[in-house]
């Protein structure tokens, strides 16, 4: 299996996980308060957009500014989607957290793909593909853990 195919599968899995959590939040939106909904929208959109933006940077060979714009639009739309479940305050909170997560994910992907940006040693360049896979898997685990904790908090 090619690294790009693996990243596409992880990207789709993260997108499906985010969409399924959105539907869970949509069904239970009357059960939680505005403050709790805003926290859920900010945490969910921030983590999901961070991981998706990082994987977008790994998958596509565009320049940094183009990918930053695309990732920011994706992260902002995720934030608006999650924030629209509660009220206007959470809409703004979800949007800002989604765009910040997307920008951070893009920058993190740039550093992982080109370690010379941070002045890392030259021996690191041989393990870039392994590191991309490792951070993509770690990000997917982080998304799963975050959504699992948010889903558990809906039950308590």
What span, in angstroms and rounded, lies between the C-alpha atoms of 106 and 102?
6
Tens-place pLDDT, residues 49-104: 999 999 999 998 788 889 999 999 999 999 999 888 876 667 788 889 999 999 99
Q: Which residues contact 103 (CB under 8 A, 6 or more apart)?
A: 53, 68, 71, 72, 75
- CA distances in angstroms from 89 to 19, 31, 37, 123, 146, listed in the order given: 21, 18, 10, 47, 22
- Phi, psi angles (nearest 5°) of residue 73: -65, -40
Range of the domain at 84: 67-113
Nearest to 7 by CA among 99, 134, 142: 134
Q: Which of 19-28, 29-38, 102-111, 134-143 has the lowest mean pLDDT?
A: 29-38
pLDDT of res. 33: 79
Residue 123 pLDDT level (bands cut at 50, 70, 90) = low
Q: Which two tokens stand for residue 96?
A: 């800002």
pLDDT of res. 106: 93
What span, in angstroms and rounded, lies between the C-alpha atoms of 73 and 81?
12
Q: Indicate whether 103 belongs to any domain.
A: yes
| For the chain, percent of residues with pLDDT exceeding 70 | 94
Q: Which two tokens stand for residue 70?
A: 């695309």
Q: Which of 8-17, 54-63, 136-145 has the lowest mean pLDDT?
A: 54-63
Q: Indicate whether 101 belongs to any domain.
A: yes
Residue 138 pLDDT level (bands cut at 50, 70, 90) = very high
Q: Indicate whether 23 belongs to any domain.
A: no
Q: What is the pTM of this model?
A: 0.90
Indicate if the pLDDT at residue 30 is higher than 90. no
Q: Indicate whether 79 belongs to any domain.
A: yes
**Could you tell me how many helices (H) and strands (E) the chain has, helices first?**
5, 0
Indicate if the pLDDT at residue 1 is higher than 80. no
**Average pLDDT score over the chain:** 87
Number of domains in the chain: 1
């Amino acid at each position: 299996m090619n690294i790009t195919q693996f990243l596409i599968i992880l990207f789709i899995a993260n997108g499906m996980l985010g969409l399924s959590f959105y539907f869970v939040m949509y069904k239970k939106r009357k059960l939680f308060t505005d403050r709790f909904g805003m926290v859920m929208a900010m945490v969910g959109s921030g983590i999901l957009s961070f991981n998706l933006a990082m994987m977008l940077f790994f998958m596509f060979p565009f320049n940094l500014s183009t990918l930053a714009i695309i990732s920011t639009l994706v992260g902002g739309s995720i934030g608006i989607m999650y924030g629209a479940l509660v009220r206007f305050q959470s809409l703004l909170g979800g949007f800002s957290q989604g765009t910040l997560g997307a920008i951070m994910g893009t920058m993190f992907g740039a550093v992982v793909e080109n370690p010379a940006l941070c002045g890392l040693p030259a021996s690191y360049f041989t393990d870039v593909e392994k590191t991309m896979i490792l951070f993509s898997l770690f990000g997917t685990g982080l998304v799963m853990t975050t959504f699992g904790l948010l889903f558990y908090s809906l039950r308590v």
